[in-house]
Amino acid sequence: MTPHMLTRSLDRSATIFLAVVAACGILIPLSNLLLPAGSFLQVPTYLVALWGKYVCYAILALSIDLIWGYCGILSLGHGAFFALGGYAMGMYLMRQIGTRGVYGNPILPDFMVFLNYSKLPWTWYGFDMFWFAALMVLLVPGLLAFCFGWLAFRSRVTGVYLSIITQAMTYALLLAFFRNDFGFGGNNGLTDFKDILGFNVQAEGTRAALFALSCLALIAGFLICRAIVSSKLGKVLIAVRDAESRTRFLGYRVESYKLFVFTVSACMAGVAGALYVPQVGIINPSEFAPGNSIEAVIWVAVGGRGTLVGAALGAVVVNYAKTFFTSGMLAPYWLFMLGALFILVTLLLPKGIVGTFNAWWDQSKEKRSAAAMASAAAEDGVTEPKMAE
């Protein structure tokens, strides 16, 4: 199998993926808004919100695949970047409530009035402006990842050690955000949102627009990841994944490459979180739970690490299964299934769905071309001597 064929097969699945996401991003909101309610083809609003959630998870999975699939960094703290982006958006939405809260305070959100805050903590300054919140959605996770990665990669913390300290990071954040005096709503988190950019968060139009935006963000994220992994930089990343020491000996500054891709990935996770919060209507510290981050890693493993398309697909498939199984009478068995999924995928399907499919497709294609060549040779009947010449 030549590298050329590999890129071509990736291009094919990438094209299909982009087409499907774009079609969903356009058709689902249109069907929800334009077709009459109850009609067969109309997508109900609750489904729009649910699928919007999946799309956000897909962006998160994409960000994990970028570092795990292509650079070998297994982060068990990506849920933290996701939640930080979500909190930044949640803070903007809280400030938009204004006097419509229970206590009617024009500046302080309800929970601060309840906890007897006399003025707004400095961490909340500027979050009444959307551009500032949007900037923070990128900056806060990005900066945290930059500092964390700068420390970790420079001192060559790799492999499972890195996984464990990323887990410690998200656990520390979980504990911090659970504290009431940390100033971010304590264990209740941020909720009761009203407006986003002047539009009602609950309105059908807003939800449809958020869904379309999420799809757009997924496409943008995918293109960015594709651009990174297919560039020269991407080749170095793959080299780092496969033989870090050798890459270093060849003269590459491994830590800079890792730091770059880790920071980009954290920013993507932040965006995913920011799109997630207005669609589900709440952000609370449980998003920082270490279990969430590990679950996000398994989406990537199910879909196929190092394929990008697979990561997004895995996120949607696993979460759809979760919704399906936890809502019915099978609910007590969901954790069995999720646990079994973890075990079976790592044991039996190490390449994931898309990876396995790609391998199979390439293999059968090779077989077909070999067969075609053989039959062509049989028809000509003169191949052997010609090849020998």
Partner 1 sequence: MPAHLSARLCSLALSLFLIAFTLPALAGPFEDAVAKFANDDYSDTDEAIGVVASSGNPLAFPIISALQDGRLMADPDSKKVYVTGADGKSIDAATGQAVASVPDSASAVRLNNRLRRSVDAALGSLTLQSPDVGTRLQAAQSVFKSHEETALEAVDAALAKETNRSVKAALGDARAAILLFKPDATEVEKLEAVAALKGRGDQEALALLTGMGDQPASVTKAAASAIGSIQNSLAVWSMVQNAWYGLSLGSVLLLAAIGLAITFGVMGVINMAHGEMVMIGAYTTFVVQEVIRTRYPGLFDYSLLIAVPLAFVVAGAIGVLIERSIIRFLYGRPLETLLATWGLSLVLQQAVRTMFGPTNREVGNPSWMSGAFELGQITITYNRLWILVFTLAVFAILLAMLRYTALGLEMRAVTQNRRMAASMGIATSRVDALTFGLGSGIAGIAGVALSQIDNVSPNLGQSYIIDSFMVVVFGGVGNLWGTLVGAFTLGIANKFLEPVAGAVLGKIAILVLIILFIQKRPRGLFALKGRAVEA
Residues in contact with partner 1 by the rule CB under 8 A? 68, 74, 148, 151-152, 154-161, 163-165, 167-169, 171-172, 175-176, 178-179, 245, 290, 294, 297-298, 301, 332-333, 335-336, 338-343, 345-347, 350
Tokens of 206: 């807003």
- At which residue do the structure tokens 């052997």 appear? 384
Q: How far is the CB of 174 from partner 1 (least distance, A)?
A: 9
For residue 195, the cross-strand partners are 200
Residue 92 beta carbon to partner 1: minimum distance, rounded to whole angstroms: 26
Look at residue 191 and give its three-state secondary structure. strand
Residue 326 CB, shortest distance to partner 1, in Å, is 12
- Closer residue to partner 1 (CB): 130 or 150: 150
In the complex, the smallest distance separating the C-beta of residue 144 from partner 1, rounded to whole angstroms, is: 12
Q: How far apart are CA 246 and CA 235, in angstroms?
A: 14
149: tokens are 């990665």
CA distance 16 to 310: 12
Q: State which residue, 179 or 235, has the beta carbon closest to partner 1.
A: 179
Residue with Cβ nearer partner 1 (205 or 328): 328
Q: Hey, is 190 helix, strand or coil? A: strand
Give dist(CA 163, CA 136) in Å, integer.
25
3-state secondary structure of 143: helix
- Give whichever of 91 and 297 is closer to partner 1, judged by the CB atom: 297
Minimum CB separation from partner 1 for residue 137, in Å?
24
23 contacts 211 by C-beta, under 8 angstroms: no
The nearest distance, CB 167 to partner 1, in angstroms, is 6
Residue 215: CB minimum distance to partner 1, A? 28
CB of 209 to partner 1, least distance (A): 36
Burial bucket for residue 66 (CB in 10 Å: 0-12, 13-18, 19+): buried
**Between residues 27 and 168, which has the closer beta carbon with respect to partner 1?**
168
- Nearer Cβ to partner 1 (49/152): 152
> Which of 17, 288 has the CB closer to partner 1?
288
By beta-carbon proximity to partner 1, the closer residue of 175 and 371 is: 175
Look up residue 200 and give its DSSP letter: E
In the three-class reduction of DSSP (H, G, I as helix; E, B as strand; rest coil), residue 298 is classed as: helix
What is the dihedral angle through the alpha carbons of 259, 263, 269, 270, rounded to the nearest 10 degrees?
150
Query: In one letter, which amino acid is 72?
Result: G
Q: How far, in Å, are 121, 224, 369 from residue 91 at the CA level?
A: 12, 27, 58
Tell me the backbone φ, ψ of residue 283, rounded to 5 degrees: -135, 125
